Structure 1
Amino acid sequence: MSIIKAIIMAGGKGTRLRPLTCSLPKPMVPILNKPVMEYTAQLLKKYNIDDVAVTTAYLPELITEYFEEGQRWDMNISYYLEDVPLGTGGSVRNAEEYIKEPFLVISGDALTDLNIDNAIDYHRTKGSKVTLVLKKEAVPIEYGVVITNEAGKIVRFLEKPSWGEVFSNTVNTGIYIIEPEVMEYYKKGDSFDFSKDLFPKLLQDGVPMYGYVTEDYWCDIGDLNSYKQTQFDILDGKVNLELDANEITKGVWLGEGSKIHEKTVINPPVYIGKNSLVDTCRIGPHTIISDNCDIKRDAVVKRSIIWKDSHIGEETHFTGAVACNRVHINKRVNVFENAAIGEESTLLDGVMVKPDIKIWPHKLVDENTVVNKNLIWGSKASKTVFGYRDISGHMNIDITPEFAMGLGSSFSAISKGGAIVVSDDASNAAFLIKSSIITGIHASGGQVIEVPDSILAMNRFAVKYHQADGGVHIRTDNADKNKIYIEFIDNNGANISRNKEREIENLMNRGDFERCNADKLKQKVSIENFSSIFIKQGLKLLEHKDALKRKNFKIAISSNSLKHLKLAKDYLNELGCSINYEKYEGIKPLKKQLSYLSNQIKLGKAEFGVLISDNGEDMIIVDEKGRSIEKEDYLLLTSLIAMKSKTEKIVLPYIVPNIFEKMAKSYNVEVIRTKSNPSSIMHEMLKNWNTNTEFPLQYTLNYNAIWGIGLILDLLVSSNSRICNLVDEFPEYYYLKEEIPCDWKDKGRVIKDLIEENKDQSIELFEGVKINDDRGWTLILPDHEKPLFKIYTEGFSQEYAQELSVSFSKKVMDLLTLT
């Protein structure tokens, strides 16, 4: 059986594979000595699919020159060039002559041994209009996740989800069997994607689409690791295909004309192409050496891939790396794990290339040089740099000046060269990294507004105050002065979205930052003593300043940040408050700080206490009765204050108790739930808020502790109330949180199993898996930064909450034990 025609999508640039793809389109990247797309063509031929269209975009002549019209494979190949990007669907729609009958779409830059006949049988048996070939992936967040019902019918698509959205571990392989009528949704020349545009429309219209889950091999060659692993898998016999070489002994393939010295030590599996010379050295395991290579005496090559016409010198160690065509590596060179050397580069004697380094084509590295940053025309690149809300790491280890300069250039690029507020906490480490970020912004033609000796809340305010396009704040950890935190702010004063984070990560990974000429460089504007403007603006927010001064509140404050203590004291002194705070050296544990605040209240030296977090956003309040108001209780307090202040809406993270809704209903206030990451919460709070210097009340109470204290005092004066009175209004609720360690690879599988096991229950899939029953609810959410599950439970009684928490914690642990 066969489908008459197929379309190979071959327009990929392969930016994440650079420098391998600097002069090659992604489908032409070699896998065991021949282009990856050739394996696709051979697979189609194996299943009698002879009539093939190829859609091209990047360096198309290299594809057409190699494959010509398909004569070598006894196939008929036609080409369709995208002059402008049309998307995956648009490029296929452009091949109009090939979509008049059922057809197969397959990627030219992924490797698979898919049984196409079985997939076609499935498509026809189901009466499907579109069948997606799916594959189970342990860590699915870099792919499009597809959710199907028991019958295999597709019910939902998720494009590169966060861990909170991973409801299945079956991912879209980009292989489709399509009936021609569904392509009529668009016209030839339209730009659209299959997964983002066409498939969601078909799903909305009820067009039958099915997912065929294959057990056959499939790997998307998206980055250097997957590029290497695919070839290692072939050598390990995990892929059903034949190699173009003789297997001279088990696990050792040797091409025609190649010679291996009799004293060479080979640890299989190893592949050596044609006409290569291997002297007395050590090779393998998992080594691929292409045609016309020369490996000299006492060299060590293992877990590496060496392209054609390359030279590895005497006593050189080449481990876990890739060398492109015509690379010349001299004597005693060390190239370490996950490095990549671009074509026609030369490394002279004694060079050391550190792990993960990329050297662009045509580079010359002098003798005894240690290459510890990418040699492109910029600095270091990395695949994923953002955590839950920021970038963090240790100075000169995780976060180097070169890395920071790349961050500055990347953020400037996505900010279109606009004005960026850059601030720091005046520590030595933060100053170093700030200077590098500013250099990167300037180098890309951006404008810098510097706010030295600052806090994060000041940066957010400064972005609004100066109407900047974004902001960057750098601070050090109070307990570890070598640890750096970098937060990126958008033009509304909120943390940038995950999409913007990915844009920065992609630019950092590629490393090809834009650079400007000298006449385009912009002068830095430095704003000294911006804290005075910050305090004045905080005072303007208050409606009852005179009454506050007459009241003369006595407040105890504590923080591990002396900067936050000083700012809070200066701000509250302007309101006539008497401030007590403890002067101490170093870091004080949370319990001791809370104990200090409680003692101040008991001794009558303070009416209530405030503990300000290291980042200056979060607060713990100790009320007049000595009760600590933190986390969910603090959010409940700030929500109550917002409701009493006649706000129209409150924004709540999805994970918090439902009791908030009941309280909001009594105040006739709308509740908007959002995902639990800080960026999503901030963006929802700031939606449709257009003033240049102010922020919504709920936002300020949760993300600006210093101004927040003033707003709480303002409410207390206006209502002649106390904090303990507000706390006494809290409704009773029963809420528990647990954490279950896991392996990263188990996250998607466990979530999918939980959905399947509870399919007959009331479940929600907004973020993680939320399961409702007559005792309450439980939310199981994979953590974004750590290998663990977070389990949130709210019960209608303490007993019910405990039952649910124990039950689902055990369920997750049981699922984790399954192989």
Structure 2
Amino acid sequence: MIDLKGVILAAGEGRRCRPLTQTRSKVMLPVGNRPFMEYVIRALAANGIEDIYVVVGYQKERVMDYFEDGIDFDVAITYIEQNELLGTAHALLKAEQYVDEEFLVVNGDNLIDKRAVNELVSAKGDNVILAALRRHTGDYGVLIVDNGLVTEIIEKPGRPCSGILNTGSYKFTPDVFDALKQAPISERGSYELPETIMQMIKEGTQIVPLITKGIWADAIFAWDLLNANSLALGMDEPKIMGDVEEGAMIKGPVHLGEGSIVRSGSYLVGPVSIGEDCDIGPNAVILPSTSVGDSARIGPHSEVRNSILMNDARIGSGCIISDSVIGASCTLRDQVVVETGSCVVEIEGVFQRAEFGAILADDVSVGARVLASPGTVVGTKASISSGAAIRGTINRDSRVIC
């Protein structure tokens, strides 16, 4: 049996997940209270892939500080820097000197489980693409398959369709590096793996698609984190390691980290994950598909549902937070209400239809009695005064005065 190595592509920012990626790369966005890339590493480790090479670039220090040498995750991590972010093909080429046998390539900003990785490891063929059957919005590459081989990759068709999606996970032989050295320039002016694979197909290389039955998810936009979070919450075994006061009620799978406390009268319905050193309630309500990061605080009589609260978030009393992502070290004072519903959001000059409450980047301060309309997006370190009604996009470092 070949001792497989793994290459994780983790150099990009994830621009369409702004403003959350203003302070961290997409691979470090938390779902189920773990960064995306932790799921990737754990899935590789579960399949005996211990030598992992991580290509880093944007906000690389955050990645390296969190994962270090990989010993805490039962792997050995070597970091490779991509100084210029010139695309995924350019990033993979950086790993050439480290790989001399068959290896796996996985995007660090996807949610993937050990079953999906095992399918890729066991797949027959020298060059394999892990694929997924999905109905989607046109933001993924679609594989055209004939007689068991990929004949074409239609990159981001831009319209809703059903099909076989390219997950961005591959099994290659070292021969791929010769193709990478001749990678064509994409329409974006970068060197990307899908275009390189298409060039390989034209030159006669057989590319095998493998439709996964495991878990795979991505987050194209910041609000897509909510779906990934819901999936991630089902991937871990929940444990109650903190304190639950008498009179609090917990139903379903709820994880409560060490040093955390759920105070009397609170009501939690899983799947829910609460990190370490958190303070919940009294009389708080946390409803399914919610993750709460370390050292967070949810005040009395507040309700949070289907949301992500990152580390050190502070939620006052009487707040209602639905379908939202609240960044690290955000402070929401008393009686803040985030409405949820369908909306239209502008991302990089393109209007996207979505359905969520609000996206707050790190270090946002929200005063008391603020009402946020569906689709509100607030940049890093913005400040919202008490009594304001907010909607749309609020840029970083802005101040909204009632």
TM-score, normalised with respect to structure 2:
0.86
Distance 1:221 1:2 in 2: 32
Instruction: Tell me the residue number matched to 1:295.
Output: 298
Q: Does the CA contact (< 8 Å) of 2:380 and 2:397 recur in 1?
A: no
Q: Secondary structure at the match of 1:83?
A: coil
Question: 1:243–1:223: structure 2 CA closer, same or farther, 3 Å change rule?
Answer: farther
Question: 1:188–1:98: structure 2 CA closer, same or farther, 3 Å change rule?
Answer: farther
Distance 2:118 2:279 in 1: 42
Q: Deviations over 1:35-67 (max 9, x none)?
A: 111111111111111111111121111111221
Instruction: Tell me the residue number matched to 2:121.
Output: 120
Instruction: Tell me the residue number matched to 1:331.
Output: 334
Q: 1:134 aligns with which of 128, 131, 136?
A: 131
Question: 1:63–1:163: structure 2 CA closer, same or farther, 3 Å change rule?
Answer: closer
Instruction: Tell me the residue number matched to 1:185.
Output: 179
Deviation at 1:225, TM superposition (A): 2.8
Equivalent residue runs for 1:15-34 within 5 Å: 15-34=15-34
Instruction: Tell me the residue number matched to 1:284.
Output: 287
Deviation at 1:260, TM superposition (A): 1.1
TM-score, normalised with respect to structure 1:
0.43
Deviation at 1:317, TM superposition (A): 1.0
Question: 1:66–1:268: structure 2 CA closer, same or farther, 3 Å change rule?
Answer: closer
Distance 1:312 1:263 in 2: 17
Distance 2:318 2:176 in 1: 60
Q: Deviations over 1:96-125 (max 9, x none)?
A: 2233211100010000114333323223xx
Q: Larger C-alpha radius of gyration, 1 or 2?
A: 1
Q: Does 1:158 align with 2:177?
A: no
Q: Deviations over 1:459-490 (max 9, x none)?
A: xxxxxxxxxxxxxxxxxxxxxxxxxxxxxxxx
Distance 2:110 2:365 in 1: 30
Q: Does the CA contact (< 8 Å) of 1:159 and 1:195 recur in 2?
A: yes
Distance 1:176 1:269 in 2: 31
Instruction: Tell me the residue number matched to 2:391.
Output: 372
Q: Of the two structures, which has the highest relative contact order with CA contacts closer than 8 Å and spacing of 6 or more?
A: 2
Once the two structures are overlaid, the 10-residue window that deviates more, 340-349 or 183-192, is 183-192
More strand by share: 2
Deviation at 1:242, TM superposition (A): 4.1
Instruction: Tell me the residue number matched to 1:77.
Output: 77
The AA in structure 2 aligned to 1:307 is: M
Distance 1:377 1:177 in 2: 40
Instruction: Tell me the residue number matched to 2:247.
Output: none
Deviation at 1:378, TM superposition (A): 11
Q: Secondary structure at the match of 1:350?
A: coil
Distance 1:20 1:112 in 2: 21
Distance 2:239 2:377 in 1: 29
Q: Does the CA contact (< 8 Å) of 1:359 and 1:375 recur in 2?
A: yes
Question: 1:211–1:245: structure 2 CA closer, same or farther, 3 Å change rule?
Answer: farther
Distance 1:244 1:105 in 2: 32
Equivalent residue runs for 1:553-632 within 5 Å: none
Instruction: Tell me the residue number matched to 1:266.
Output: 268
Q: Does the CA contact (< 8 Å) of 1:147 and 1:155 recur in 2?
A: yes
The AA in structure 2 aligned to 1:316 is: C
Q: Secondary structure at the match of 1:263?
A: coil
Distance 1:348 1:250 in 2: 33
Q: Does 1:356 align with 2:375?
A: yes
Instruction: Tell me the residue number matched to 2:365.
Output: 346
Q: Does 1:307 align with 2:310?
A: yes
The AA in structure 2 aligned to 1:144 is: G
Distance 1:188 1:202 in 2: 10
Distance 2:320 2:251 in 1: 25
Deviation at 1:245, TM superposition (A): 5.8
Q: Does 1:102 align with 2:102?
A: yes
Q: Does the CA contact (< 8 Å) of 1:119 and 1:212 recur in 2?
A: yes
Deviation at 1:74, TM superposition (A): 3.0
Distance 1:374 1:188 in 2: 41
Q: Secondary structure at the match of 2:175?
A: helix
Equivalent residue runs for 1:168-183 within 5 Å: 169-183=163-177
Q: Deviations over 1:215-260 (max 9, x none)?
A: 111001221232111111233x3x4x44576597532221112111
The AA in structure 2 aligned to 1:272 is: I
Between the two proteins, what is the percent identity of the paired residues? 27
Distance 2:298 2:47 in 1: 39
The AA in structure 2 aligned to 1:160 is: K
Instruction: Tell me the residue number matched to 2:347.
Output: none
Q: Deviations over 1:595-650 (max 9, x none)?
A: xxxxxxxxxxxxxxxxxxxxxxxxxxxxxxxxxxxxxxxxxxxxxxxxxxxxxxxx
The AA in structure 1 aligned to 2:227 is: Q
Question: 1:264–1:243: structure 2 CA closer, same or farther, 3 Å change rule?
Answer: closer
Q: Does the CA contact (< 8 Å) of 1:6 and 1:98 recur in 2?
A: no
Aligned pairs, how many? 368
More helix by share: 1
Q: Does the CA contact (< 8 Å) of 1:7 and 1:98 recur in 2?
A: no
Q: Secondary structure at the match of 2:255?
A: strand
Once the two structures are overlaid, the 10-residue window that deviates more, 38-47 or 94-103, is 94-103
Q: Secondary structure at the match of 1:105?
A: strand
Superposed CA RMSD in Å reads: 2.3
Q: Does 1:256 align with 2:224?
A: no
Distance 1:346 1:34 in 2: 24
Question: 1:373–1:58: structure 2 CA closer, same or farther, 3 Å change rule?
Answer: same
Question: 1:175–1:189: structure 2 CA closer, same or farther, 3 Å change rule?
Answer: closer
Q: Deviations over 1:57-84 (max 9, x none)?
A: 2111111122122122232211111111
Q: Secondary structure at the match of 1:55?
A: strand
Q: Secondary structure at the match of 2:80?
A: strand
Q: 2:218 aligns with which of 212, 217, 220?
A: 220
Q: Does the CA contact (< 8 Å) of 1:102 and 1:179 recur in 2?
A: yes
5+ residue gaps, structure 1: 380-819
Q: Secondary structure at the match of 1:119?
A: helix
The AA in structure 2 aligned to 1:139 is: H
Q: Does 1:145 align with 2:142?
A: yes
Q: Secondary structure at the match of 1:157?
A: strand
Distance 1:326 1:31 in 2: 17
Q: Does 1:317 align with 2:320?
A: yes
Instruction: Tell me the residue number matched to 1:450.
Output: none
The AA in structure 1 aligned to 2:132 is: K
Q: Does 1:52 align with 2:49?
A: no
5+ residue gaps, structure 2: 185-189, 243-249, 341-355
